[in-house]
Structure 1
């Protein structure tokens, strides 16, 4: 369902949400059905808190702004999957992780 315009807007929304948690969105990219984020979060912030907000806030605005592209029947009323994957990457060079995210097959 994502196209480049939706992904650009999604990234803008997620930057704002990260700012509210004193977190930093270091890298963002997506494909037609999912997104990848590289976040830098303060150590005292449980990762579930910003993820919950990232999903909730982006869902609200993307549904509102891209109504024609969002088909609620196909997604059973949910914009995002209820699950997510998070991993610590403190030991890996950020350049490698950023490169992996940049190489996603972004839709036109």
Structure 2
């Protein structure tokens, strides 16, 4: 008798796990840093290397001009905060070392990322829904045009709330 494989689960020698996290974080001051394909692809490569070094599986990733979307998974032995610290900390260090001109012009304090982030488990939402959202974000972000004078507020993407609140002075 064979056991059925669990859909989307990751099998290791010690355990089977099915943790999938949707992770979003922004650049410091929401600076538009990854504005070219070259910079975006470089950050993707850096994040992939950091993930590989830290036993993190990147299932889907998009690098937007001022933020990152990732669908990740990692073993239960790793705390979510340590995974985020590794991804944000190491990627910032490597990227700013490679681009001292960006460090001087946009990040004089030496911090590429804002200290905050959003992380949620998929729960009963399918992995495919989140993958589609991350993929679609790449295309909708470039077409987004806020109303004149409106402040764009990043919100959790799965809520039904509009991203354009009233102007706050």
TM-score when normalising by structure 1: 0.83
Note the aligned Cα RMSD (angstroms).
Answer: 2.0
Aligned counterparts of 1:6 and 1:24: Cα–Cα separation in 2? 22
The structure with more strand, counted as a fraction of residues: 2
Larger radius of gyration: 2
Equivalent of 1:41 in 74, 89, 110: 74
Partner residue of 2:117 out of 59, 71, 84: 84
Which position in structure 2 is the counterpart of 1:2? Answer: 34
CA contact (8 A) 2:43 2:63 kept: no
Tell me how far apart the structure 2 counterparts of residues 18 and 90 of structure 1 sit (CA, whole Å). 22
Unaligned runs of 5+ in 1: none
Return the TM-score normalized by structure 2: 0.56
Which structure has more relative contact order (CA 8 Å, sep 6+)? It is 1
Residues 72 and 79 in structure 1, CA contact (< 8 A), matched pair in contact too: no
Once the two structures are superposed, what CA deviation does each residue of 1:10-37 show, in whole Å capped at 9, x if it has no partner? 1111112222232200111022111111
* Runs of at least 4 residues off by over 3 Å: 71-76
Structure 2 unaligned residues grouped into runs of 5+: 1-32, 143-169
